[in-house]
Amino acid sequence: MTAKDRASIAGAKRIVVKVGSSSISGDAAWRIPVLVEALAAAHGRGVEVLLVSSGAIATGMPFLALDSRPNDLATQQAAAAVGQNILVYRYQEALRPFEIVAGQVLLTASDMEDPTHRSNARRAVERLLGLRILPIINENDTVATHEIRFGDNDRLAALVARLVGADALVLLSDITALYTRPPGEPGAEPIDLVEADDDLSTYAFGSKVVNSVGTGGAATKASAARLASSAGIGTLVTSADLVGEALSGAPIGTWFVPADVRVSATGAIATLRG
C-alpha cells in the first residue's frame, strides 16, 4: 500500500532506502550492521526492501592509499572497482546472521533512459525481490563518466523507487530532518512536512556539497524527495541513525506528502483513487 504519511511506512509492502557514503564508510563503517539490522527487521515482516547504497569510491580509497576523494575519473573508477566489492561483502556479512542474501545491482544513467535497459533492470530487480533477495543498488562508478552520471544517489534512489513502484522512499542523511536553512545558521528550523504543491524555493538548502568521501547535501535530498513524491511515492528524509524508527513509522524527519498520482513500472502516470 502506498504510504500516505509517516505512520503508514510500517505497513508499506515495498520500500526503497538510500544511505550515503558518509554514513557507512571510513570511521562510520560500524553503522552498516546497525542499518542492516533495521532492514532485516522490515524484511522479516514481509516487506520488500531495496537498498540504494553509496560508498564504493569512499570504501575503496584506503585500499588505494588515498586520503581524499580523487578528482580524476580514472582513479575514481579504480577506487569504485575495489570499493564496491568490499562494500557488498560488508553488507553480506552483516546480513548473514539474519539468513538474508544480498544481490548487487549496478546501474548507469543510460540504463534508466533506454527503454530496453530500463525494462531489463526492472525485471531483474523484480525477480530478486520475488526470491526474497535484498537488492543493493549503486551507480556503476567503474564505467560511468562525468557526462552520464546520475549526479548523486539521492536522485538514483528516487528513480529506482519510480522504476519498481515503491510504496515509500527513505533518504537517510547525517541530520534528523531537513531545515529551512543550514542547521548551524541562526533561525534554522526543522521542516516537518512538505506538501506536493509547496514552494521549496523559500528554503535555503544551500548548494550541492562535495566532501571527502562523496557528493550530496540537503538540496539533493529535497530535489530527489520532490521527484519521488510528485510521482505518488511518499518520501521521508531523516538520519541514518534513526533508520529503525523510520521503517517503523515513527514521527521523525521531514515527510514529503505523495501527490495524487502514481507512476507505474512502465513509467506511465496514473491518478490514484481512494
CA distance 56 to 82: 8
User: According to the model, what pLDDT value does residue 206 have?
Assistant: 56
Between β-strands 48-53 and 14-19, what pairing exists: parallel, antiparallel or unpaired? parallel
256 beta partners: 194, 235
pLDDT of residue 156 exceeding 90, the answer is yes
For 187-222, give the DSSP string. Answer: T--B--EE-TT--GGGS---S-EE-SS-EE-HHHHH
Q: Which residue has the higher pLDDT, 117 or 144?
A: 117
Binding residues: 18, 54, 141, 153, 173-174
Q: What is the mean pLDDT of residues 36-45?
A: 98
Mean pLDDT confidence for 97-114: 93
pLDDT value of position 141: 79
Residues forming the annotated binding site for ATP?
18, 173-174
Sign for the pseudo-dihedral over CA of 202, 239, 246, 99: positive
CATH number of 6-271: 3.40.1160.10
pLDDT of residue 148: 42
User: What is the pLDDT, as a whole number, of residue 151?
Assistant: 63
Residue 90 pLDDT exceeds 80: yes
pLDDT digits (tens, 9 = 90+) for 57-68: 999 999 999 998
Domain parsing of the chain, residue ranges: 6-271
In the predicted structure, residue 253 carries a pLDDT above the cut 80 = yes
Pairing of strands 261-263, 48-53: unpaired
Q: Cell 531523516 identifies what position?
A: 238
Better-predicted residue by pLDDT, 197 or 223: 223
As annotated, the binding site for substrate includes: 54, 141, 153
Least confident range of 7-16, 69-78, 83-92, 127-136: 69-78
What pLDDT does 261 receive? Answer: 63
pLDDT at 222 over 70: yes
State which amino acid sits at residue 99: E
Q: In angstroms, rounded to a whole number, what is the distance separating the alpha carbons of residues 223 and 265?
A: 21
